[in-house]
Amino acid sequence: MSVQFGKRCKILRQERGLTQQQVADALGISRSAYAYYEIGGSEPSLSVLWELAQYFQVSADSLLDTSLYKIAVCYHNFLSGLHILNCYQHK
């Protein structure tokens, strides 16, 4: 995970007017553990990542670096374009 993960968590927390302690309490972790996530000092376990996503009501991939998601979308669009080209070639 990257520093971007921590920045996303911080933005989501601040948008909701929450303190680090409130988020940590909801997750059942210490405030310092959550604070380290925000500054990129440590990475959450998969279960904490899932809980964070549920708590903030976002998808887990939106908390992570979305570059893989963007690649998948580009690949899908590329394949869709090939399908359209194939349809034109068969007419």
CA dist., res. 55 & res. 43, Å (int): 17
**Helix, strand, coil proportions of the chain in percent (round to 5)?**
75, 0, 25
Q: What is the pLDDT of residues 22-49, one digit of tens each?
A: 999 999 999 999 999 999 898 888 999 9
Across 17-21, 66-70, 82-86, least confident range: 82-86
Query: How far apart (Å, rounded) are the C-alpha atoms in residues 33 and 9?
Result: 13
Nearest-angstrom CA–CA distance, 63 and 72: 17
Could you write out the DSSP letters of every residue in 57-68? TS-HHHHS-THH
Mean pLDDT of the chain: 81
